Structure 1
Amino acid sequence: MNRLPILLTLAILTACASPRPAPPAEVQPTVEPLPPEIKPLTQEQEEEIGQ
């Protein structure tokens, strides 16, 4: 009997079931405040964009 298909299936299922580690903190992007000349959208502008 050829065991290759069984081993491949087991390897794929094991890889899919294993939890992935969280990325390190230094890789995550930092949120910088907006410059004063850029104003956030008002509620009305957000509703217009959403339509």
Structure 2
Amino acid sequence: MKLLAALLALAILSACAARAPVPQAPVAAPPAAVQPEPLPAGVKPLTVEQDEQISQG
């Protein structure tokens, strides 16, 4: 019984080793982060609270 299991394991391993390798698909780079334009001189950025109020509508 152990001999049969060993032969089966060897057959499976040899079948896996004999198959052609699968080529890897190229991975696309993630899109570059969008950088906001700099604010004009004298203009302050929104506070977190102001930004949340605007986004809530």
Which TM-score bucket, shorter chain as reference? 0.3 to 0.5
TM-score (norm 1): 0.44
